[in-house]
Amino acid sequence: MKLRKKIYMTAGYNTISLGTGRKEFHPKKSRPGIDHYIKESGKATLDKIGGGKNVDECVIGNFMAARFNKQANLPGFFPMIDDDLKWKPAIAVEGACASGGLALVTGIKSVLAETADVVLTIGVEVQNTVKAIYGADILAGAGWYGERKTGHAYFFPGKFSDRAGAYFEKYGREKSRKALARWYRNAIENARLCPTAQEFHNKIEDLETMALMEPNPKAFVNNLNVFDCSKVSDAASAIAIVSEDGLHRISISKDDAVEIIGFGQAQYDITKPPADLTRLETTETAVKKAFESAGITKDDLAMVECHDCFTIAGVMGTEAIGFAKPGEGADFVADGNTTRDGKIPFNTTGGLIGWGHPTGGTGVHQAVTIWEQLTGKAGDAQIKIPDEKPYGLSVNMGGDDKTVVAIVYKRG
């Protein structure tokens, strides 16, 4: 479906992604609460657009604050950010790890519906409030909890370990493991260029050798090691979604914004297992819808932000988007095509493996990263955006490829 009016995103901001790997993080020391992250990210975006008085509506994406933080009713935090947000409509949306992407789509639809010209959109999650094994149980709610009793103790690592095992069996274990290690290396090298990334302080030299450590089923899962997994992260991201009139109101030029030219959203039955463990079919569907909406193809893209909750999801993502045929994603990654100077740069600030994965905030972080890249604001992480390829794609996945949002962005 073609968008019937022009929509833009601007004034993005990311907090630090806090968790293991950051020098500031200590598991036994007190850390900021969810209110801190909401306020920091929201205020930073408001400062760029003239304050809360210029906002018509607010949206917040979050997955499990009610369990991680014992805090629900997150829309009530918007007036805390700025007094001028008092009485403004606000809503919270949830779709597991795709909550941030759903928040973006909700804001886009408000502008399309002409109920708002400026929407403040935040994605947030604070997860380092419980031990990892308990967090795994909370995060299992992103899947079918009916499988919890028979599922792995580390529920989602178990799910994607099963996907990796099926991929190894079908396409070859050795080359696939090398691709997963290369994906990890790329993620960390990109994160080292982004001061807010969780792996910014990572100094390990031989990343690929480390990432090739054999999985230990007795301690973790069958087919993945800890380097194949995104970490537990506390962070928030914010961005403004605006119409052309909204851009004028907040006095920001199109050069400092990205245009949203298409999006796709797809859902799979949460109670059913994937039809094929080696394919991300919901991702394929959402991306196809996004390309059709935008009127472009994969070959027009300058960059991709994909949902690499696990390295195998990144490799399979290259196939779902169409850069590699089924089973050839491992070769595509291992050959360096997804590096920051490769054929199609993926996850230029580290993605979920390198930057961090604050579950409900990830989709908004992806949008902020693309906004920074397409407007030349990415600092040391900046890549070259060819004039003939002014587009970026974000793919935000919830659960085991159950809820997916894909968005196409164009340099303003």
pLDDT one-digit tens code per residue, 199-231? 999 999 999 999 999 999 999 999 999 999 999
Q: Is the pLDDT of residue 37 over 80?
A: yes
Average pLDDT over residues 332-342: 98
Q: Is the pLDDT of residue 412 over 90?
A: no
Task: State residue 57's pLDDT score.
Answer: 98
Task: State residue 100's pLDDT score.
Answer: 98
Ramachandran assignment for 245, one of left (phi > 0), alpha (psi -120 to 50 degrees), beta (any other): alpha
3-state secondary structure of 59: strand
Average pLDDT over residues 49-76: 98
Say what the alpha-carbon torsion angle 38, 39, 40, 43 is, to the nearest 10 degrees.
120
**Spatial distance between the Cα atoms of 412 and 397, rounded to a whole number of angstroms:** 26
**Spatial distance between the Cα atoms of 228 and 211, rounded to a whole number of angstroms:** 7
pLDDT one-digit tens code per residue, 289-312? 999 999 999 999 999 999 999 999
Using only the alpha carbons of the chain, give its radius of gyration.
Answer: 20
Domain 7-131+232-257 and domain 153-230+268-355+362-411, same fold? Reply is yes
Contact 301, 166 (CB under 8 A): no
Q: Is the pLDDT of residue 87 over 90?
A: yes
Query: Could you give the angle at which helices 311-321 and 155-171 cross, rounded to 10 degrees?
Result: 60
Above pLDDT 90, what percent of the chain?
96
Residue 178 vs residues 67, 181, 189: alpha-carbon distances, Å: 37, 5, 16
Contact 290, 298 (CB under 8 A): no
Instruction: Kindly provide the b/e burial profile for residues 44-81, where b requires at least 16 CB atoms within 10 angstroms of the residue's own CB.
Output: bbbebbbbbebbbbbbbbbbbbebbbebeebbebbbeb
**Spatial distance between the Cα atoms of 104 and 120, rounded to a whole number of angstroms:** 10
CATH class as words, domain 153-230+268-355+362-411: alpha beta
Q: Is the pLDDT of residue 1 over 80?
A: no
Task: State residue 254's pLDDT score.
Answer: 97
Per-domain boundaries in the chain: 7-131+232-257, 153-230+268-355+362-411
Instruction: Kindly provide the b/e burial profile for residues 326-361, where b requires at least 16 CB atoms within 10 angstroms of the residue's own CB.
Output: eeebbbbbbeebbbbeeebbbbbbbbbbbbbbbbbb
Which residues make Cβ contacts (< 8 Å) with residue 371, sequence separation at least 6?
9, 10, 12, 239, 257, 258, 377, 409
Which residues make Cβ contacts (< 8 Å) with residue 57, sequence separation at least 6?
88, 89, 90, 91, 107, 110, 115, 116, 118, 119, 120
Cβ burial of 239 (10 Å; 0-12, 13-18, 19+) is: buried
Task: State residue 44's pLDDT score.
Answer: 98
pLDDT one-digit tens code per residue, 101-137? 999 999 999 999 999 999 999 999 999 999 988 999 9
Tell me which of 87 and 153 has the higher pLDDT: 87
Domain 7-131+232-257: give its CATH architecture: 3-Layer(aba) Sandwich (3.40)
Q: Where are the beta strands (DSSP E) in 229-351?
A: 234-243, 257-267, 301-305
Q: Which two tokens stand for residue 405?
A: 């949002």
Average pLDDT over residues 341-367: 98
Residue 370 vs residues 8, 71, 328, 348, 390: alpha-carbon distances, Å: 12, 30, 26, 9, 11
Task: State residue 149's pLDDT score.
Answer: 86
| Mean pLDDT lowest among 67-76, 130-139, 227-236 | 130-139
Task: State residue 96's pLDDT score.
Answer: 98
3-state secondary structure of 238: strand
Task: State residue 222's pLDDT score.
Answer: 96
Task: State residue 283's pLDDT score.
Answer: 98
Task: State residue 382's pLDDT score.
Answer: 98
Average pLDDT, the chain: 97
pLDDT band of 63, cuts 50, 70, 90: very high
